[in-house]
Structure 1
């Protein structure tokens, strides 16, 4: 599959050019009525005819607005109460690399009040899903080195691999590969706003989608009615903050798992020294003797074991993870194995393209990298690192181009912002939400879910009610508000 690139013809200034200039932020007043907005071609989505699917062409490089174009795909779930409709709620589930179209298609994600009052619009970001997806040789992708680089030779091979992968993906994907940064996504988002005919939008961003929301608020503050950031990225941290704060978040999630196992009689390791069992498993993994309990006789390495834990903490899946550890420690016959825990895919094809354009993550060669891993192991003695953060850092080694959207503090918000985070989120550290809320200033309010898992809206009715109330009424929770933790239940229960 080849990306479709269209070149616009150069014509005298027209209404369409004025419209594009407005999307670029060149015009500070609403576009005159004679300016026809860019067209979205709508038709019923094949997955759900109640949802409209559409496409919009945008410049691949927003600094060359009349240059080559790519096609964005979006979905709109119309408000069910036309008379009470507030406007458009744009949504993004993060990744980077997760489909926002699929999020709009999910009729169960948002509460009834939000579905009644908003058209819910999900745009697959450029390079993702249905929007000029970044394409790479799957065999090359599958050959990705273990991110826990142990030697200088491993470090050099990883840098060489990244260069080969980037060249392959750029060749297969076309110019979108070099323009997958989140600032470009933000400009796409505003072009969609304009095409929808909305003066202002509301936005719900989860995980990496929170960075889209922050950068949109920075660039177009007067075009936002409401902003929810759930599972927050802090785009101001340097490489040490990025690695350290995420590693500490994974360790905190592990400690919570251990504490839960000590109080829940359904934990398969109840009454046992979970940290000692983990240490034995890590030693076996390092020695190459740890058999994968769900895929024998395959062996698990240290990276595999840590990533299994990280994935289990997303929901969290404590019951199945406890069985997983027990059966790895004391293998059982195949017929008695428990259901395997879901593994989180953290590396879609677009992941390194986006991360390496949005983040500057230098480690100072192999010596600096090795020293950082050693320091992280003291901060996170069981889990050692964050698989997500280490994948990002090692995936950018050797890249020939500097990031176009490197870290910087986000300016204070001009309107109310609701910041949400789980206290024990393994992927986006709780401290990131605290730091971002401070950067956004007095207009921002942090709502803490005192529980576990990544993205709190789907884990807590208390959180979802507060978010829905804010989106519909612009009512923020009280300062210091929190929502109680909800104990996980076994798979298939509750």
Structure 2
């Protein structure tokens, strides 16, 4: 098994969605002097001349604004009608490219694109903005969440992670230690100023909601509108982070099983879905579950982590019908889809945005005994899914990160902003609905939480109700009423306006399954 690293879309990868770090204590400087800098020199993007591309020079370390700098990549699709200003977006992750989102026409309605220049940026450490580079071979040596069998394995994990961090730091340079979201917030304010906007209008999805939350906390007077879709909770410690995520993963499985029970289109309709799933997990645990290889290639073993990962990512859509078909095919031993042929040799290095999460969330685990207790508790919370592969994957990826980190968890302290729109699905496998309600409570009277009573990750684009609510808020500054809710759209009956779920990087657990056509 290998390291599970997530890149967005966040969503996940998108997730989803960094300078003097936001202190966790009271007394954070609010609305400090703007960063300064020159306007962006725009030129047609190579990928699409209808979109303009440019760069913004920002400091590596905002505590040393005259020190080393780097170029933040930016893209802009200009408003088609009567322009209000700029709408800056982040599609999630960590690791999601805002530049790609703009070039690929993220999926906003004509009502929004006619009134705003849609602007995206690659956050520091991501893609075109000085990416964090790491050894692929080292990444592939890391154990998976179910491979830590004792204290010796746990100690080996910590030693490996330290070696991996040093490799990434050497390849990336000083920016490696400054990719936290607190610094991204300072970059975002510099971008707002360079765009010529007095106040910020922002849409963030998934991990991008953390950018919006921290911007509201640090720069409340510079906010015009913040629309936060599928909301992070940056107040969670290790146990609460793991438990809320495992509970969300199990909730999505419960919804999948219920959908199969009432839907004839489900390949497992009329059967005991949980029994089929349990049988596949047992076979995976014994090393007896495989996918066929391409022509002349051996079959690919599917471990427990891979199987759980595949179910988990299918809940993003949700793609219930695809998951049911895959499980039925795996059970019969005749998968309907074969893996594509290999893509050839992979490069020595790859861009790994997981460092962003590790500088935003300190999730300490003392030893194997404590780690095993977390796994056992998660299995009680999530008897079918066993654990959240997203949460435990990131826990192991960041294990051993030295404290203090620049952007540690803390309860939000937002005061003096206009109303802020938060939205979340009731049955989101990645950003748990409990996270959205917690973030709304922390923000207080300024928060307006819109509940989508359905499934999947991401709310914008799931029918007229939530989409119109976002549009009205961003254009007219009309926030939803308190307690507003939108009805569910049946799974597999909606076309989302946002991108696909985050997927693992090539060569990591779950990748062979993620490559299968949806």
- TM class by shorter chain equals 0.7 to 0.9
Residues 319 and 491, structure 1, Cα contact 8 Å, conserved in 2: no
> What's the RMSD between the two structures over aligned residues?
2.3
Where do residues 459-474 of structure 1 align in structure 2 (5 Å cutoff)? Answer: 459-474=462-477
Cα 1:256–1:153 change in 2 (3 A) is same
Cα 1:491–1:154 change in 2 (3 A) is farther
Instruction: Find the counterpart in structure 1 of residue 85 from structure 2.
Output: 87
Mapped to 2, the partners of 1:144 and 1:210 lie a distance apart of 29
**Does the residue aligned with 1:406 lie in a helix, a strand or coil?**
coil
Residues 244 and 434, structure 2, Cα contact 8 Å, conserved in 1: yes
The 4+ residue runs of structure 1 with deviation greater than 4 A are 24-31, 293-296, 490-493
Deviation, 1:293, is: 5.8
Instruction: Find the counterpart in structure 2 of residue 68 from structure 1.
Output: 68
Mapped to 2, the partners of 1:319 and 1:216 lie a distance apart of 39
Task: Confirm whether residue 136 of structure 1 aligns to residue 138 of structure 2.
Answer: no
Mapped to 1, the partners of 2:407 and 2:421 lie a distance apart of 24
Mapped to 1, the partners of 2:338 and 2:449 lie a distance apart of 38
**TM value normalised by structure 2:** 0.84
Which has more helix, going by share of residues? Answer: 1
Mapped to 2, the partners of 1:480 and 1:112 lie a distance apart of 27
Which of the two has higher C-alpha Rg? 1
Residues 31 and 222, structure 2, Cα contact 8 Å, conserved in 1: no
Residues 293 and 331, structure 1, Cα contact 8 Å, conserved in 2: no
Among 405, 408, 421, the residue aligned to 1:406? 408
Residues 462 and 494, structure 2, Cα contact 8 Å, conserved in 1: no
Give a deviation string over 1:421-480, Cα, whole Å, max 9, x none: 011100000000001011111121111111111111133332111101100011111221
Mapped to 2, the partners of 1:88 and 1:25 lie a distance apart of 25
Deviation, 1:386, is: 1.1
Cα 1:337–1:64 change in 2 (3 A) is closer
Residues 134 and 350, structure 1, Cα contact 8 Å, conserved in 2: yes
Deviation, 1:185, is: 0.5
Instruction: Find the counterpart in structure 1 of residue 306 from structure 2.
Output: 304
Residues 227 and 421, structure 2, Cα contact 8 Å, conserved in 1: yes
Give a deviation string over 1:377-417, Cα, whole Å, max 9, x none: 10100111111111111111123353111100111342200
Q: Which has the higher contact order (CA 8 A, sep 6+)?
A: 2
**TM value normalised by structure 1:** 0.88
Give a deviation string over 1:60-82, Cα, whole Å, max 9, x none: 0110111111110000111111x
**Does the residue aligned with 1:362 lie in a helix, a strand or coil?**
coil
Deviation, 1:89, is: 1.0
Residues 60 and 179, structure 1, Cα contact 8 Å, conserved in 2: yes
Give a deviation string over 1:262-318, Cα, whole Å, max 9, x none: 111111111010101111111111111112367762211111111011111111111
Deviation, 1:143, is: 2.7
Mapped to 2, the partners of 1:191 and 1:174 lie a distance apart of 22
Residues 38 and 194, structure 1, Cα contact 8 Å, conserved in 2: no
Deviation, 1:101, is: 0.7
Instruction: Find the counterpart in structure 2 of residue 393 from structure 1.
Output: 395
Cα 1:465–1:408 change in 2 (3 A) is same
Instruction: Find the counterpart in structure 2 of residue 192 from structure 1.
Output: 191
Among 115, 118, 127, the residue aligned to 1:117? 115
Unaligned runs of 5+ in 1: 1-23, 341-347
**Does the residue aligned with 1:446 lie in a helix, a strand or coil?**
strand
Residues 421 and 455, structure 1, Cα contact 8 Å, conserved in 2: yes
Among 353, 356, 373, the residue aligned to 1:354? 356
Instruction: Find the counterpart in structure 1 of residue 425 from structure 2.
Output: 422
